[in-house]
Amino acid sequence: MYSQVDNFTRMSANHEVERLQSRHGSHHHDLSREQQIINLQLENQAIKQRLDQISENLNTFTNSFMGIDLPDNVGLLVTVDQGVIVAWNKPVWDHLGHQEGDLYSSIRTWRDLLDPTNSREAFGRLVDAIKNKRESYTSDFNMKHSTGILIPAKSTSYITYDPQTQFPLYSVTFIKFI
């Protein structure tokens, strides 16, 4: 789809340039400036279309996981773009004593919710998995409840990498609260 958008953008830009050339004739300097403006507008439009498509795909992807029927003691965490948490499901919030939206969804929040005595090991497993391009890994850790109590948890994460860049595209983590 992206290549179709790019081809359409290029064809439209070329058509607009030809139209301006026939209209302005010898005003080459102005034409060049107008051509640049049109090209930038078309590039911006193509980028917006790509971002809209990515956003739609991300919402579909996240919703497909959020709809999974899981046991009450199993939470789900979906991350994209090297650690941006896009969704925690309700059991995660419930087990940690928070309402949805209480905390900023980020990898830093996840680290802050880990027990400091085992957060280095848990975070190290994540870094090791990404560094070695593992598609999955498991980890045991404690997470802090809003009251300060530590809740034991086990997680299994599945990571999908971009085939070209080899950077993580997204990960899905199942957290079982014990």
Q: Domain locations in the chain?
A: 2-59, 67-177
Alpha carbons 110 and 85: distance in angstroms, whole number? 9
Confidence of residue 166 (pLDDT cuts 50, 70, 90): confident
What is the predicted pLDDT for the residue at 133? 92
Taking phi over 0 as left and psi of -120 to 50 as alpha, with beta for the rest, 107 belongs to alpha
Of residues 59 and 173, which shows the higher confidence score?
173
pLDDT in tens, 10-56: 444 555 555 555 555 545 555 688 888 888 888 888 877 776 766 66
**Average pLDDT of span 72-88:** 68
Give residue 93's pLDDT.
Answer: 82
Query: Tokens in use for 173?
Result: 């983590």
Which one has a higher pLDDT value, 18 or 92? 92
Specify the pLDDT at position 3: 38
81 pLDDT band (50/70/90 cuts)? low
Give the C-alpha separation, 157 to 134, whole Å: 10
Are the beta carbons of 21 and 42 closer than 8 angstroms? no
Confidence of residue 2 (pLDDT cuts 50, 70, 90): very low
pLDDT surpasses 80 at 163: yes
What pLDDT, on a 0 to 100 scale, did the predictor assign at position 25? 52
Instruction: Please say if the pLDDT value at position 6 is more than 60.
Output: no
Q: Which among 120, 117, 126 is positioned nearest to 155, based on CA atoms?
A: 126
CA distances from 32 to 17, 35, 76, 132 (A): 9, 5, 53, 49
CATH entry 3.30.450.20 includes domain 67-177: yes
Q: What is the pLDDT of residues 117-157, one digit of tens each?
A: 988 898 889 889 989 999 999 999 999 999 999 999 999 99
pLDDT at 35: 83
Residue-level pLDDT at 112: 85
